[in-house]
Amino acid sequence: MHKQGIKYFSSATTATALVILEELGLLACEDMKSCTLLPAPSEKLDLAISLCYSEGKDEWEEFQDFANFALTMDKEVVLK
């Protein structure tokens, strides 16, 4: 992961990734401590079928919109 820019990540990030992979049918997990890798699908999967992924993507887009607003507006407007 370090070569791609993420050297360390939290246990929450790991748990979220496992949920997404489970929703995609790639893993079967019991209590997030023991997971079984399931057979590869015959065709490429769409991440959008994972509710967890879609919700996270929506939240990220909302945050980006707010960040753009907050960083480009005068502080008086932002603090209202």
- Across the chain, the runs of DSSP E, i.e. the strands, are 27-30, 34-37
pLDDT at 71: 87
Q: What is the H or E stretch that residue 52 is in?
A: helix 51-72
Q: What is the pLDDT of residues 24-64, one digit of tens each?
A: 999 999 876 789 999 999 999 999 999 999 999 999 999 99
Largest Cα–Cα distance in the chain? 55
pLDDT at 42: 95
| Long-range contact set of residues 25-28: C-beta below 8 Å, sequence gap at least 24 | none
pLDDT at 41: 94
Does the pLDDT value for residue 1 go beyond 50?
A: no
Q: What CA–CA distance (Å, rounded) separates 1 from 20?
A: 18
